[in-house]
């Protein structure tokens, strides 16, 4: 078996493996899509004590630069944020939530401060 036929055989094996991986990923994507559609059909209802108070108003806060905040506060956090940006965003949001909760409590404000994932 010469070098060219060995390379062709290796390419064929790799192509089959990649096609199998794409097929598996596609099936997982289809399952996720089906389950997200099922979740989207369920509407959440407010408890009666909250729905009787009339329309509720919310304040939203979106931190636009969580990774630069991490980089400013800690050099190791800045390096780690390149490897795991999702984890760094979650840490920044969790710390922000805790600071808001304690600040509101100190000022006597009863607030439900929580993180909500959109999408």
pTM of the complete model: 0.51
pLDDT at 108 over 90: yes
What is the number of other CB atoms lying within 10 angstroms of the CB of residue 81? 22
Instruction: Provide the percentage of residues in the chain whose pLDDT is more than 90.
Output: 17
Report pLDDT digits (tens) over 38-94. Answer: 666 555 566 666 666 667 778 888 889 888 888 888 777 777 777 788 888 888 888
pLDDT given for residue 15 in this prediction: 92
The average confidence (pLDDT) of the chain is 81
pLDDT given for residue 35 in this prediction: 76
Cα–Cα distance for residue pair 47/52, rounded to 1 Å: 9
Residue for token pair 């909250």:
50
Give how far the C-alpha of residue 33 lies from the chain's centroid of Cα atoms, to the nearest Å. Answer: 16
DSSP state of 7: H
Domain ranges of the chain: 1-43, 54-106
């Amino acid at each position: 078996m010469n070098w060219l036929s060995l390379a062709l055989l290796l390419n064929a094996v790799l192509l089959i493996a990649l096609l199998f991986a794409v097929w598996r990923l596609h099936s997982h994507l289809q399952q996720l899509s089906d389950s997200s559609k099922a979740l989207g059909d369920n509407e959440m209802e407010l408890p009666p004590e909250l729905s009787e108070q009339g329309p509720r108003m919310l304040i939203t806060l979106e931190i636009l630069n969580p990774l630069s905040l991490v980089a400013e506060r800690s050099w190791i956090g800045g390096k780690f944020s390149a490897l795991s940006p999702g984890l760094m965003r979650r840490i920044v949001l969790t710390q922000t939530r805790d600071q808001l909760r304690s600040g509101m409590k100190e000022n006597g404000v009863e607030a439900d401060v929580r993180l909500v994932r959109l999408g």
